[in-house]
Structure 1
Amino acid sequence: MIALSFSLIAMMEAVGNRAVLPAAFFYGAAAGPVALLLAIHDRTALGASVPPITLAGMFLFGGGVALLIGGYLDSVLIPDKHSPSILRVGWIEEPAKLVPPLAVALTGRHLVKAAGVALGLSCATGFAIMESMSYAWKSIHADAGVVEAGTVLFLRGLTTPFGHLIWTGLVCAVAFGAWQARGRVTVTLPVVAAVVTAAVLHSLNDGLLVLDIPGAARLLFLVVAVVSYWLFHRATRDLKRKVVLEPVPSRA
C-alpha cells in the first residue's frame, strides 16, 4: 500500500494527473493501520468475533462519527494546536472514538471482549485514516508539495497504528471485558482508569510531537508508543486464536 501510494504520487508528478491524489492519500494513510490490524487478527482472530458488515459499518460510519465529534471539540477547545492546549486532545478524541462502540454495547449485542476490541479497532482505524488524509490535504493547502504530503502520510502511517488504534483497543479490551463479566454496560474503576490512561498517553504523544521542546526530547514519543502497545498487548493476551487440530487419518 505504501509502494502504491508513492507510485501514484510519482505518476501524478510525472504527468500532472491530480485526480489520483485521493487514492494516493488513502493508500498512504491506511497502510500502517491495516498492517497492524492484520497482525492483531493473526494473533487473536478478532475479525471472526463480529459479522463483517458490522465491522465495515464501524469502520466507515463509526470512524466518521468519531471524527465529527472529535473534530468539532478540537476546534472549540484547542484554538492553537501549537500551544499547551494541545494537551487536551487526548481527553477529547479518546472519548469521541468510544461513542460508536459504546452505542453498539448499549444495545446488548456483541457484549464480549473479543467483539469489543474488534469494534474499537475498526472505529479507530476509520478515524485514523481519515484524520491522516486531512493532514495530507492540509499540508498541500499550506503550499507544500505532493511529495511532502506523501511524507506526512508515511510518517503518520508509522505512528498512528501505535496510537489511535492501540489506545481505543486498550479501552475497549478493559471495558468490554468488564461488561462481558457483568452482562451489561456499567462504569467501573478499571474502565475509568483505562480511559484516563489512553487520554494521558494520547495527549503526551501529541504534546511531544507538536510543542516547542528540544529535539532529543521529541524521541520520547517512541517511549509512549512502546508503553501503549505493551498495555494493549497485556489487556488482550487472553484473546488467542483457537487452533483446530485436523484429525490424523488412521492407516489401514
Structure 2
Amino acid sequence: MIVLSFSLIAMMQAAGNQAVMPAAFFYGAAAGPIALLLAIHDRIHIATSVPAMTLMGMFLFGGGVALLLGGYFDSLFISQKNSTSILRVGWIEEPAKLVPPLAVALTGRHLTKAAGVALGLSCATGFTIMESMAYAWKSIANNGGAVGAGTILLIRGLTTPFSHLVWTGLVCAVAFGAWQIRGRAVVTIPIIAAFMTAALLHSLSDGLLILDIPQPARLLFLVVAAASYWLFHRATRDLRPQAAPATEP
C-alpha cells in the first residue's frame, strides 16, 4: 500500500493527473493501521467475534462520527495561539473514539472482550485514516506539494498504529472485559484508569511532536509509542484464538 501510494504520487507529479490524489492519500494513510489490524487478528482472531457488517459499519461510520466529534471539540478547545493547548487533544479525541463502541455496548450486544477490542480498533482505524488524509490535504493547501503530503502520510502510517489504534484498543479491552463479566455496560475504576492512561499517552505523544522542545527530547515519542503498544498487548494477552470447528473426514 505504501509503494502504491508513492507510485501514484510519482505518476501524479510526472503526468500531472490530479485525479489520483485521493487514492494516493488513502493508500498511504491506511497502510500502517491495516497492517497492525492484520497482525493483531493473526494473534488473537478478534475479527471473528463480531459480524463483518458490524465491523465495516464501525470502520466507516464509527470512525466518521469519532472524527466529527473530535474535530468539533478540537476547534473549541485547541488554540493555534496557545501551543500548550495541544495537551488537551487526548482528553478530546479519546472520548470521541469511544462513543461508537459504547453505543453498541449499550444495546447489550457484543459484550465480550474480543468483540470490544475488534469494535474499538475498527473505529480507531476509520478515525486515523481519515485524520491522516486530512493532514495530507492540509499540506497541499499550505503549498507543501504532493511529495510533502506523501511524507506526512508515511510518517503517520508508521506511527498511528502505535497510537490511535492501541489507545482505543486498550480502553475497549478493559471496558468490554468488565462488561462481559457484569453483563452490561457500567463505569468501573479500572475503566476510568485505562481511559486516563490512554488520554495522557495521547496528549504526551502530541506534545512531544508539536511543542517547542529540544530535538533529542522528541525521541521520547518512540518510548510513548512502545509503552502504548505494550499496555495494549498486556490488556489483550488473555485473548486466545477460537479453535476452528472440526471437519468431517
TM-score range, shorter chain: over 0.9
- Which residues of structure 2 form unaligned runs of 5+? none
| Correspondence 1:228-247 to 2 at 5 A | 228-244=228-244
Q: How far does the alpha carbon of each residue in 1:170-210 deviate from its partner, in whole angstroms, 9 at most, with x for none?
A: 00000000000001110000000000000000000000000
Compute the displacement of 1:80 (Å): 1.7
Compute the displacement of 1:125 (Å): 0.1
Compute the displacement of 1:21 (Å): 0.2
Match of 2:71 in 1: 71
CA distance in 1, matches of 2:138, 2:180: 42
Percent identity between matched residues is 76
Compute the displacement of 1:246 (Å): 6.4
Compute the displacement of 1:82 (Å): 6.4
* DSSP 3-state at the match of 2:100: helix
Q: Does 1:166 align with 2:166?
A: yes
Code of the aligned partner of 1:103:
A
Inter-CA distance 123–248: structure 2 relative to 1 (3 Å threshold): closer
* DSSP 3-state at the match of 2:109: coil
Q: Does 1:118 align with 2:118?
A: yes
Query: Is this contact kept in 2: 1:82–1:210, CA < 8 A?
Result: no
After TM superposition, the score normalised by the length of structure 2 is 0.97
* DSSP 3-state at the match of 2:237: coil
Match of 1:7 in 2: 7
CA distance in 2, matches of 1:170, 1:204: 16
Compute the displacement of 1:159 (Å): 0.4
Q: Does 1:216 align with 2:213?
A: no
Q: How far does the alpha carbon of each residue in 1:67-100 deviate from its partner, in whole angstroms, 9 at most, with x for none?
A: 0000000010002286000000000000000000
- Which residues of structure 1 form unaligned runs of 5+? none
CA distance in 1, matches of 2:125, 2:10: 26
CA distance in 1, matches of 2:248, 2:144: 61
Code of the aligned partner of 2:80:
D
Compute the displacement of 1:242 (Å): 3.1
Code of the aligned partner of 1:118:
A
CA distance in 2, matches of 1:34, 1:56: 13
CA distance in 2, matches of 1:245, 1:179: 27
- How many residues get paired? 249
Inter-CA distance 81–206: structure 2 relative to 1 (3 Å threshold): farther
| Correspondence 1:57-206 to 2 at 5 A | 57-80=57-80, 83-206=83-206
* DSSP 3-state at the match of 1:126: helix
Match of 2:54 in 1: 54
CA distance in 1, matches of 2:82, 2:222: 20
CA distance in 2, matches of 1:188, 1:205: 26
Q: CA RMSD in A?
A: 1.4
After TM superposition, the score normalised by the length of structure 1 is 0.96
